[in-house]
Amino acid sequence: MTNTIIPNTLTPKDFVTDQEVRWCPGCGDYSILKQVQTVLPELGLKREEIVFISGIGCSSRFPYYMETYGMHSIHGRATAIATGLKAARPELSIWIVTGDGDSLSIGGNHLIHLLRRNVDVNILLFNNEIYGLTKGQYSPTSHEGQITKSTPMGAIDHPFNPIALALGANSTFVARSMDRDPLHMREMLKRTNAHKGTSLLEIYQNCNVFNDGAFEVFTEKVTKKINTITLEHAKPLVFGAENKKGIVLDGYTPHIVDVETTSVNDLWIHDEHDYTKATILSRFFESPTEYSFPRPFGIFYALQKSSYEDDMLAQITAAIAKKGEGNLNDLISGKDTWEIV
């Protein structure tokens, strides 16, 4: 008798729950939810093999709307809960859904340690540069001078740069997309899932009630081409109308040039495995002006290395192999002793 492989026949509708989606009409979360539900059937996973874990915030309602397993946890701690679940059930596909406030404020410490440990989970960081659930206070990614309910004279904090923060914590996969580019987002979701290790995908998400138009310069047809650049591995960094602008590196200093007067061989070729250049790209972060660098979208950095749970399993296997050799009393007492006289 031969085993018959039954193809995965799930469709996006199979990942839609009977729960009423309770986001404000026009919220960018709807687009992200749609793209995730569209991509999941293509991953070849069963619904019971997938878990969505969230903290607190508008984005954290996500597990209710996914016909998979899920946990709506506490503020900033989805990362800790996901780490524990992955350690106990490493075969599961675990997705963390979080916002810029949830992950970068109260959850900031948990986030950086998850990234450095390289636990094999996927982080979807919805960044709308505002606290939406609590009605419009400034967040860790709000711009200097931004007027909010908690900063009526303008925010004086320097905003976090999530991509640079992730790279600084030695994340092995760092990428950026936006809610109004569904094709690009679906491609980034697939790459996020395919990566073995901690994947962080920052998604620019419009809050049309408390911070409407925060990313308009990157989404509107008139301004998008000159203010954004798509990162594609092994391809030159070009942007602008008809890709007539490019970027070159003078040592480690980037410059914007006219493609028509610059040799293609001199342009910066994107290498998603180059940490140093990814760090430079992460600093293309200033507010758009006529002379600023375009905001990058795509994969900044991807590195394959052993994951936390694989290393943990290797230690457990080694310990089991030495069964009978250990002594609990010796372990508890340790090697450092003192004699009091």
Q: According to the model, what pLDDT value does residue 336 have?
A: 79
In the block, tokens 């250049």 appear at 277
Q: Give the residue with greater pLDDT, 45 vs 327.
A: 45
The alpha helices in 135-248, defined as continuous H runs, are: 162-168, 182-194, 216-219, 221-227
Domain chopping of the chain, boundaries: 12-234+271-302, 236-269
308-341 per-position pLDDT tens digit: 999 999 998 988 888 767 777 877 877 777 788 8
Give the tens place of pLDDT for each residue, 2-18. 454 445 689 999 999 99
Residue 337: the pLDDT is 75
pTM summary value:
0.93
Lowest mean pLDDT among 4-13, 88-97, 225-234, 286-295: 4-13
CA distance 323 to 254: 57
Task: Name the token pair of 286.
Answer: 């200033």
* Residue among 139, 37, 134 nearest 95 (CA): 37
- Answer yes or no: CATH 3.40.50.970 is held by domain 12-234+271-302: yes
**What confidence tens digit (pLDDT) does each residue in 167-201 have?**
999 999 999 999 999 999 999 999 999 999 999 99
Chain mean pLDDT for the chain: 94
pLDDT at res. 1: 43
**What pLDDT, in 10s, does the model give residues 111-136?**
999 999 999 999 999 999 999 999 99
Residue 204 φ/ψ, nearest 5 degrees: -70, 125
